[in-house]
Structure formats: C-alpha cells, structure tokens
Amino acid sequence: MLATLPDTFCVLMAKKDFVDELARELALIGIPVLLKSELLFLVAQDAFETARRRPIWTQDFWPDCHVVEFPSIAKAQQKLKSMAKRWVHASLHCHRRGELICEGLPRIKKKRLEPFIPLPDEAFGVFGLLSEKELFYSLKPHSQVPFGYHEFVEDKKTPPSRAYLKLWEVFSIHRPHLARELSGKTVFDLGACPGGWSYVLSQVGCQVYSFDKAPLDEKIAKLSNVHFRQESAFGLSPSSVPQPFAIFSDIICYPARLFDLVEKWRATGVKKFVCTIKFQKETDYETVEKFLAIPGSEIIHLYHNQHEATWIMA
C-alpha cells in the first residue's frame, strides 16, 4: 500500500447517497482517484490543489494525509496520541481494528448543534486504516464538525418544512458573519412557500419580504417581520419593490432559470445571495460553472441538501 500512495495525499468523503455524483465530478474536473472505499476517495494532494475548482459533492475532506506503519494496536494509539488530543475514525479498511484503536483514544462527544452558536474550538485529527499494519491520518480536517455531520437540535414546532435546516447550516457553519450582517436589513425570500426560509430570516432580525404564488404557512405569515406578497418570484419587477440588501431562494426550478433570476437582481445592485440550485436527473454542470464564474461565489453541497447544492455570494 505504501508504494502506491504519494507521501502526501487528500481524502474526500462523499455523503452516502452521492458517491456516484462525486466520482463523476472528480473525473470531470480532472482529479484522478488513487484509492476508493465505500464513501472515501484518496487523491493526490497536488491534483486536488491544482484542480480548476473544488468538487461540490464532498461532504468533508482531509488534506495533508500521511501514512504510518504500526506493529500493534497499542503502538498505533501511542503514535496518534503523540500528534493530537482527539481523534475520529474514518473507516476505509479493517473497520473493527480501526474501532479498537479508536477505543484507546480521546474522542469528541457527538452532540447536536445549536443554531447561530459559534462552533466549539475542538481540534481533532482523522485516521483510517489502509491495512492491518498501515494507517493514514490528517491533522487538518476541513470541517470543524467530524465528517461534516451538521445535525441540529431541531425546531419541530414552528417551521412548516425541514428546508429551514439548510439556512441554519449556512448561517451557523458556512457564513456566520452573514447572519450578523442581516439584522435589521430588508431581504427577499423568493419562492418562499411554505415559509421555512422566511422563518429563519425572521430569527436573525431581518425585515423579510416573501414572494410566492402559493400562501405561506399561517404561523409564518403571522410573524411581525415577515411581509408576504402572493406573486410569482419570476414575474416580480425590481421597480415595484424596495431594494433588498440580500436575496434568498429555495425555489423549485431548473438551474438555468434560477441563474437568469439571479442575474436580473444582480443587475439592480444586489450583492448578497443564498440560493438552492435544484438539479433534475443529472447535475447541470454547465449552469454550475456559470454560477461559479460570478465573482465571490461558492457552491456547497450542504449536509441538509438533497440532489441540489447551495450557491452563496456573500
């Protein structure tokens, strides 16, 4: 195994239902796969760093991975303890042996996240077994939460759908500064029904203008800082409404149509967006590239996304 891997490599982790998506995307952007397990893809560090863009369909990734040989479980534990205080086990091969190693290491307690609360500063490393006598490790996991499992203490009473979790994840993990910037600002929620995103935007103190042909859930419509207009998000004229500070959209539509909608509002001077790109049977990479060509853009496959991704310009 040592002879087949470079001195430094990167491990990418796919979400369970999107392994094939990540495999196709890596081929598309020219990152060769050195080794693959059920959810993990090992790729050369330089190939990952020099690729024209970062793959969207990774749930988490661990750069600067190295390989260590170990003669026994105790020696593996000793080596890992010398490098970091806490560890998580990413199962690649020899799952049970990896778990036995993990049992002798300090772990991070699994707990659900609270929305809008800064993540705990708990440094940790990731390791996995390549064989009974070889392990890989990374001291620089990308996600501050092991494996990118962004599971929240859910609000099961107010939100009318689970879509609110996507925006919680954006504000709590990926753009916490944006939640702070929005307080008191006018924002639009385009295609708002039933109101999950309007609910979250109301939580951070926005004046939320929600637009949809279908009505909002009654609980959301009654919120004092949510203002609903029963109108198509696509037919809305910028001249007929106040200028928004930011636009949010979880609307169901073809990616190309969403891009045109975004361009209409960018032309008015709006500079902050969070939008869900909802794919049909296949990922529309042509439109993905158009979104990424917009300066300051990023596309993330959130933990709470399905066959969709979240475009953020903020």
User: Where do the structural domains in the chain lie, given as residue ranges?
Assistant: 2-148, 164-313
CA dist 288 and 290 (Å) reads: 5
Q: Indicate if 164-313 has the same CATH topology as 2-148.
A: no
User: Is domain 2-148 annotated with CATH 3.30.2130?
Assistant: yes
Residue 109: phi and psi, rounded to 5, are -70, 135
- The class that CATH gives domain 164-313 is alpha beta
Spatial separation of the C-alpha atoms in residues 42 and 30, rounded to whole Å:
14
pTM (predicted TM-score): 0.94
SS3 (DSSP) at 153: coil
Give the angle 1-22-11 at the CA atoms, nearest 5°: 35
Which CB contacts under 8 angstroms, 24+ apart, belong to 23-32?
Answer: 24/283, 25/55, 25/56, 25/57, 25/283, 25/285, 26/55, 28/285, 29/53, 29/55, 31/55
Instruction: Per residue of the chain (314 residues), give pLDDT as tens.
Output: 555 789 999 999 999 999 999 999 999 999 999 999 999 999 999 999 999 999 999 999 999 999 999 999 999 999 999 999 999 999 999 999 999 999 999 988 888 999 999 888 889 999 999 999 999 999 999 999 999 999 999 999 999 999 999 999 999 999 999 999 999 999 999 999 999 999 999 999 999 999 999 999 999 999 999 999 999 999 999 999 999 999 999 999 999 999 999 999 999 999 999 999 999 989 999 999 999 999 999 999 999 999 999 999 99
Collapse the DSSP code of 247 into the 3-class scheme (helix H, G, I; strand E, B; otherwise coil) and give the result.
strand
